[in-house]
């Protein structure tokens, strides 16, 4: 359905945000993009939607049903956005026009394109919100963004994304701004979407969260993909040292007793990456070749891709 081929993004100030990234998304599939800040995960999402600043340097191909998104005309792009591919990001408050009520914004595109009359659209939006777990959707429809709580706002944002019945929905840290309980509720809702048949790209820094929803995951570090495979492969039996580190440093209730195992070192500055493998300063297995040669993604016998010189084949 969606295929990203060799995507590279360099921002106008010279920061290389993404390097040679390739992923694919099939129908009814949830792909997780896992990474910390600076990993390029949000850049990927924005690139797919072509929402990067116009002077950013974007190379590669993003194929949606065969057609390259990066080559679409303005009107074709307007059609794809929202109707075919939708995006939800982290901060729902800053996603809405603060001066307009939430409801009209949810149905905005459909009404403008005259796909629906306003009354019909309103009814549909209310149903959609109810389905997403919004209580009293009639009243919420007429509320202003700042009048809704974080969780409700996020659901409204999701409703706005789903309203056009897109085929793919990209969720960029949809739960990060919420408290744990609301987060859990929202994840339930998102899981429900999966059942309805939507394809999703789920972007998060929380690897544990990703494991509960995703079918396949890609782990990004400083703009490059480190590991790419199914959830079972990557999370149950991580091969890349970074993935291992992420999993080990995830706080769980049991680790409260054992103590948190934190990766040494810090995230690198994208403008001055270390030579060789960009992860080597923090890697417990780093050797000379790691310090001098940047590893390519290689396919292992179980089908996953790993970019590491020290990757031991699971077989």
Partner 1 sequence: MHVNIGMAKYIAKRLALLPLTIFSVITIDFVLIHLAPGGPFQILLSDPSFSPQEVATLQAEYGLNKPLLIQYFTYINQVLHGNFGISYFYGVPVIRVIMDYLPNTLVLAGLSILVSSVIGILFGILSTSLRGLIDRALNTLAILSYTLPVFWFGILLILVFSVSLRLLPSTGVYVSNAGFNLAQYLKHIIMPTLSLSLLLYPPVYFFTRSSMLEVTQANFVRALYGKGLSEGVVFRKHVLRNALLPVITVIGLHGAVLFGGATIVEIVFTWPGMGLLTYTAILNKDYPILLASVFFYSLLVAVLNLIVDIVYVFIDPRISLK
With CB under 8 A as the contact rule, the residue among 99, 180, 196, 256 that binds partner 1 is 99
* Contact indicator for 16, 7 with CB cutoff of 8 Å: no
**Interface with partner 1 by CB under 8 A: which range of 7-15, 106-114, 208-216, 230-238?**
106-114
CB of 308 to partner 1, least distance (A): 35
**Interface with partner 1 by CB under 8 A: which range of 87-95, 200-208, 267-275, 293-301?**
87-95
Q: Which CB, 14 or 98, lies closer to partner 1? A: 98
* Contact indicator for 278, 284 with CB cutoff of 8 Å: no
With binding defined as CB under 8 A, does residue 83 bind partner 1?
yes
**Interface with partner 1 by CB under 8 A: which range of 139-147, 197-205, 246-254, 292-300?**
139-147
Containing H/E element for 243? helix 241-248
With CB under 8 A as the contact rule, the residue among 6, 12, 26, 51 that binds partner 1 is 51
CA 231 to centroid of chain Cα atoms? 15
* Contact indicator for 19, 175 with CB cutoff of 8 Å: no
* Strand pairing class (30-34; 199-204): parallel
| # residues near partner 1 by CB under 8 A | 30
Token duo for residue 257: 């007793």
Size (the chain), residues: 315
With binding defined as CB under 8 A, does residue 91 bind partner 1?
yes
Q: Report 146-185 residues binding partner 1 (CB under 8 A).
A: 146-147, 157, 160, 164
CB of 148 to partner 1, least distance (A): 13
With binding defined as CB under 8 A, does residue 112 bind partner 1?
yes
Which residues of this protein are in contact with partner 1, per CB under 8 A?
49, 51, 74, 77-83, 86-87, 89, 91, 94-100, 108-109, 112, 144, 146-147, 157, 160, 164
């Amino acid at each position: 359905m969606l295929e990203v081929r060799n995507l590279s993004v360099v921002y106008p100030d010279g920061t290389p945000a993404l390097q040679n990234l390739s992923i694919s998304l099939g129908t009814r599939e949830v792909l997780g993009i896992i990474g910390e800040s600076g990993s390029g995960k949000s850049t990927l999402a924005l690139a797919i939607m072509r929402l990067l600043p116009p002077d950013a340097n974007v190379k590669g191909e993003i194929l949606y049903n065969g057609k390259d998104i990066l080559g679409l005309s303005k009107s074709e792009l307007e059609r794809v956005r929202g109707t075919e591919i939708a995006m939800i990001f982290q901060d729902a408050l800053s996603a809405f026009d603060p001066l307009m009520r939430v409801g009209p914004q949810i149905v905005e595109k459909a009404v403008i394109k005259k796909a629906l009359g306003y009354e019909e659209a309103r009814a549909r939006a209310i149903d959609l919100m109810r389905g997403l777990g919004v209580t009293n959707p009639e009243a919420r429809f007429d509320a202003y963004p700042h009048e809704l709580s974080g969780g409700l706002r996020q659901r409204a944002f999701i409703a706005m994304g789903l309203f056009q019945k897109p085929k793919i929905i990209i969720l960029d840290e949809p739960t990060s701004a919420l408290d744990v309980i609301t987060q859990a509720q929202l994840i339930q809702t998102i899981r429900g979407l999966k059942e309805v048949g939507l394809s999703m790209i789920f972007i998060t820094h929380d690897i544990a969260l990703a494991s509960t929803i995703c079918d396949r995951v890609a782990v990004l570090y400083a703009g490059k993909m480190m590991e790419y495979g199914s959830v079972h492969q990557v999370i149950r039996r991580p091969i890349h040292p970074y993935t291992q580190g992420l999993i080990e440093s995830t706080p769980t209730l049991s680790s409260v007793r054992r103590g948190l195992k934190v990766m040494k070192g810090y995230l690198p500055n994208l403008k001055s990456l270390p030579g060789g493998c960009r992860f080597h300063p923090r890697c417990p297995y780093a050797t000379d070749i790691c310090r001098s040669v940047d590893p390519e993604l290689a396919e292992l016998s179980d089908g996953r891709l790993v970019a590491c010189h020290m990757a031991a084949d699971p077989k």
